[in-house]
A = this chain, B = another copy of it.
Amino acid sequence: MEVIARIRNDFPTKFGLPRQAGLAPSLRSKIVFEPAYRVPEALRGLEGFSHIWLIWGFSATSGTPTRPGSEFHWSPTVRPPRLGGNVRMGVFATRSPFRPNPIGLSSVRLEGIEDDGANGRVLIVSGADLMDGTPIYDIKPYLPGVDAHPEAADGFVGTHAQQLLEVELAPELAERLSPSQQSALREILAQDPRPAYHAAHPDPKRIYGFTYAGLEIHFTVEAGRLKAFG
């Protein structure tokens, strides 16, 4: 498996990162091809598709038991955040990174294909759930005729719909972000970036923090309301 591209965006770490593709539709990312794959012809026709698939590597899932070559490099069961972090499901029934082959799959919106100086042609996408620098192994067009099954049964996921939080950004934080960065941050915070266990056992005094767009974002959560400050 060769790295063909890397994603670039405002998330240097996985904390705060959306847990699935599409949860933060305003979040823009740039896909920069590695020099060997910086071939404009390879993108011919891609502009006609509104969505693309990214097949990528869970490269920086810190704390994972993934150790290639070890017989303990995957876990048959995992605790999905959606279930509050205390129910075990089979790894193949989840999108968890703790898999035999730590490969991620995300559909993202293709916003454009641009010239980016020394980077050559880059893809601008929105809705990605990949952190900055994540290696990408393949890019495919999204084909609604074969890929879209809106009627599909979604197991334990559908019965545990995410409750969105109300989000309040402190003015001194908001003014340091562009309008689209503000929108993306609001979407991300509304999804409740706290660890599942904390969300299930809330402490309104606890201050959480993560890095976004070069800023330290801090927040507290009380009674369904998230207050973010710098």
A218 at the interface (CB under 8 A from B): no
The stretch of A139-147, A197-205, A221-229 that contacts the partner chain: A139-147
Whether B153 lies near A50 (C-beta < 8 A) is: yes
Whether B154 lies near A46 (C-beta < 8 A) is: no
Number of interface residues, chain A, beta carbon within 8 A: 63
Copies of this chain per assembly: 2
**Given known contacts A37-B100, A55-B105, is B145 in contact with A157 (CB within 8 Å)?**
yes
Residues of B within 8 A of A142 (CB): 149, 152, 154
The stretch of A83-91, A164-172, A208-216 that contacts the partner chain: A83-91
CA distance A151 to B53 in the complex (A): 15
Given contacts A41-B77, A42-B92, A49-B152, 9 further A-B contacts (CB under 8 A): A20-B143, A20-B146, A43-B90, A45-B93, A46-B92, A51-B153, A103-B137, A145-B154, A148-B152
